[in-house]
Amino acid sequence: MNKKRIAILASGAGSNAEAIMAWAQSSTLAEVVCVGSNVKSALVIERAKFFEVPTIIHLKKKNENNRDYDLRLCEKLKAYSPDWIVLAGYMKLLSPEFLKRFQGRVINIHPSLLPAFPGLDGYGDAYKANVVESGCTIHFVDEGMDTGPIIAQRKFLLIKGESFEDFKKRGLLIENQFYPEVLEKLLKDYL
Ligand code: GAR
């Protein structure tokens, strides 16, 4: 059986990307064929190098619109023939043109129980709102901001008096475990 080819896109530290690369190393279902980032200095690039996964640093040209930027990204990704695009802290909206190229094959993890707290700071917004429970959501990506069909969610309770830093750290650890688990199930369903 051919392994599904995953391209990860990420903008930051890359703990989720690392968890996915570690899972893929021993997976019979998937391999990570490249890691792309829109941020030159993103730690995720170093993590990819550690796993000997090819990297793409894709920077915006002066005055370039989102569509053209994404079409250039598609061209670079083409070299790796990805079956799935997995967003792991990719802090940029994908254009309709990009999504069309990978229709139904782009997924994302978001740090809240969507539809609550979409946007750039899921944990921050949930913490400020004094929620009793929080969590993360894995969903298909559509043209909206964190609006695509939900695949799976994992909840966790807030601990009374917990600092924001500890809350976020706990959430991220849960994400790191949850994302590979959900990918494993999802890819089995799509065999
Ligand atoms: C994660 O919390 C992820 O859910 C979030 O960015 C963080 C990336 O951490 N994504 C979003 O907020 C997307 N809207 P990481 O770089 O350590 O994986």
Q: Per-residue pLDDT tens for 119-138?
A: 999 999 999 999 999 999 99
pLDDT at position 175 is 98
Which residues are near ligand 1 (CB < 6 Å)? 10, 12-17, 88-89, 109-111, 122, 136, 146, 172, 175
- Average pLDDT for residues 146-160, to the nearest whole number? 96
Taking each helix axis from N to C end, the angle separating 164-189 and 15-25, rounded to the nearest 10 degrees, works out to 40
Cα separation, 34 vs 54, whole angstroms: 5
- Average pLDDT for residues 90-95, to the nearest whole number? 96
Question: By alpha-carbon position, which residue is closest to atom 5 of ligand 1?
Answer: 89
Tokens read off for 24? 């893929």
Q: What CATH code is assigned to 4-190?
A: 3.40.50.170
pLDDT at position 190 is 82
CB 115 within 8 A of CB 153: no
Question: By alpha-carbon position, which residue is closest to atom 17 of ligand 1?
Answer: 15
Tell how far the Cα of 108 is from the centroid of ligand 1, in angstroms: 9
